[in-house]
Each structure stands twice: as structure tokens, then as C-alpha cells.
Amino acid sequence: MNRPEVLSFLRSFAGLENAPDGTEIKPFLELVSSLRRDLPLSIPLLRSLAALALGKSSGTGLLERRLERRYRRLCKIYGELGRLDFRKAGAGMSPEDYVFSQIDFSRYKKIDEKEFDLLFQEGPDDFDEAFYKNNFGNGKDEIQTIIRESYRKEEGYYKIQRENPLILSVMRTLDTSPESADLFSAEELQGELDNLLDFTGGEKNSGGPPAGSRPFLSGTEHLYQQLVLSLNNKIITHEDGMTTTLFISQAGDLSGTFRPGNKAWTLVLIPAAKF
């Protein structure tokens, strides 16, 4: 499919908002899925959405990795909760102090390269700026700089170079926080749609508005809604073989039921108010 055909195909979705059951999104997803990986086109979110919605997931896409990180954090929380025995708390020790005393910070001194890349190189993008400001008083960029300057890669591991309370708090929080930003946002989608339009060359050649400001289809919000709904009843298989089910809850949220320790734990991934 050449560029003019791609642009024409995308413009055919101008009435997408009139398909509340999401069935009309399938041709768009099939188009995205058909685009070759070697094209000069950065659309990792759209590619991952298409793979998940069409049942073609390889487990390595953008959304799959985001869901893998959420699952791993829940596994660590579940594991730590299972090891707590409040009968062993010292006299006069508060529950909060006892929980803190049981945290194993030594695991952040040497971290496997694969886990470090997933949770601490990519993982910071799972949280919004408010999360960083509220927890550390710094923005995401500053926290990422602190992580980079505190660790050095050596023989398949990342080893801590500057151990202090701040870096240990950062690593602990990113490693176990159940909080997270939306699984994907309308703004993130708009950025990739702009990339797709740039690739077609249609708007540039016709004198359209610059990338980032032009309208797409009949409003990105309608496409965003349909893409979120396309994940209803999809199943993700994690690296350890456990599965997570995505679904639209009674409240209308996109939610996921994870199974850390084979126990159901449901998280809201995108609130209904967002789509």
C-alpha cells in the first residue's frame, strides 16, 4: 500500500464516532498491522494496540511491556505482604515502622540488566509528573538523571555507585508502586497519528497545518475511544506464564485483572472519564 492509499484509507474513518460497538475500528487496526516494521515510521503504540486487539501479540510491544511492569510490581507487593508477620513486631513498634523494617533494600545494590532496563529505564514513563513531585519533590527528568548517575552496568548487571536514602527511595517506589498513569493517552495517540500523516505526505503536500496542530479524522477523541474499547476481553500472557484479562468494567473503566501469586488483583488502567 503506497502513501496516497494510506492517507485515503485513514480519511475514510471520518464517521468513526458513529460506531459505538467498536466494530469499525478493525480495518484501521488491520491497516496498522500490515505496515512493515522497516518503514521510517514511529508508531509503537498503534502497532501494539493493533497486535493486542487482533490477537497477534508477541508479548514485546509497547503496551505489553507496560502491562508486564504493572504485573511485576503487584507480584512484589503481594510477595512482601505474604511475608509480613506482625506478631514479630517489637514492643511499641507501629505497623508502619514494622513494614518499613522488613523492606529488603539490598536488592537495589545489584540488579539484573534485563530487569533494570524494563523497570528502571522504561518504567519511569509509567508515572506522571505529579507522581514524581508528590513522592520526591523532583520531576521525572531529574529522577531519571539520578538513576543514571547512581548505577553502572557491569557484566550483565547494574550496580549501584552512589548509595543514599534518595536513590533507594526512588528505586523502591518505582519497583513497587501500584499507582501509574493511564495505560495510554489521547495525547500519545495524537502524536503517533501525526507521525502517520507525516509518513503519508498528504497534509504536507496539500498545504495543511503543521504536525501537532492539525485535526485528524473526525476528532482524535473518537478514535481514542474506539481503540480503548478494542481491548475489551483481551488476555495478556506475562513472562512467567500468568495471564491478565483486560475488560471494560461496569463503571466503564478499562481495567485489568492481574494474578500475582495466582490471586486476583484488579487495577483501573484508563478511567471511563478519559474516553
Q: Is the pLDDT of residue 20 over 50?
A: no
Q: Is the pLDDT of residue 88 over 80?
A: no
Eight-state DSSP code of residue 202: H
Round to whole Å and give the CA distance between 131 and 145. 16
**Residue 10's pLDDT is what?**
62
Closest CA to 50 of 33, 74, 37: 33
**Residue 162's pLDDT is what?**
84
CA-based angle 65:70:74, to the nearest 5?
145
Show the cell assigned to 238.
506475562
User: What's the mean pLDDT in 60-70?
Assistant: 97
Closest CA to 187 of 264, 275, 250: 275
> Residue 154 — φ and ψ, nearest 5°?
-145, 115
Show the cell assigned to 119.
523497570
- pLDDT, tens digit, for every residue of 169-179? 999 999 999 99
Round to whole Å and give the CA distance between 255 and 249. 6
CB-based contact 242:156 (threshold 8 Å): no
Least confident of 18-32, 72-86, 118-132: 18-32
* pLDDT bucket at 81, cuts 50 / 70 / 90: confident
Least confident of 55-59, 91-95, 115-119: 91-95
- Domain boundaries in the chain? 72-176
**Residue 161's pLDDT is what?**
95
* pLDDT bucket at 204, cuts 50 / 70 / 90: very low
Q: Is the pLDDT of residue 215 over 60?
A: no
Round to whole Å and give the CA distance between 219 and 205. 21
